[in-house]
Amino acid sequence: MPSTAYLIAVLAIVFTLTFALRALPFALLRTLRGSAMVRRLSVWMPVGILAILAVTALHGTITTDDHGIGYALLAVALTIGVHLAFGRRTILSVGIGTAVYVVLLNTL
């Protein structure tokens, strides 16, 4: 078992690096706020992240469940519909889409 001083030193280093890496984008954003690239990223990055998340989350179920593709497509369509209908509230749309998908998988 490592000594207490060693553990504290490791935790201090990890904390410092984590804090610096999380603060760095905000520090750079101030200088790049007017950049066209940052404006494009602010539009497309959330969509890309959600797409990657959806593909990785749905892959296992789609390949193992006979109705998985249909349930996934229905949940994705509902998520998009809720997102567009209720003012692009991401948490609401993803939450409802996820809930519908889980209910479909577990009840039908």
Full domain range(s) for residue 26: 1-33
Domain identity same for 96 and 51: yes
> How many distinct structural domains can be found in the chain?
2
Q: What is the pTM of this model?
A: 0.56
Are 61 and 99 part of one and the same domain? yes
Instruction: Round to whole Å and give the CA distance between 108 and 76.
Output: 17
Q: Kindly state whether residues 68 and 17 are assigned to the same domain.
A: no
**Same domain assignment for residues 17 and 70:** no
Rounded mean pLDDT, 8-34:
90
Q: How far apart are CA 32 and CA 28, in angstroms?
A: 6
User: From the CB of residue 42, how many other CB atoms can be counted at a distance below 10 Å?
Assistant: 10
Specify whether 80 is located in the same domain as 61: yes
10 Å Cβ neighbour count for 65? 14
Same domain flag for 71 and 93:
yes
Q: Are residues 27 and 46 in the same domain?
A: no
Residue 41, pLDDT above cutoff 90: no
> What are 51-107's pLDDT values in tens digits?
888 888 788 777 787 888 888 889 989 999 999 999 888 889 989 999 999 999 888
The two structure tokens encoding residue 81: 């519909």
pLDDT of 29 higher than 80: no
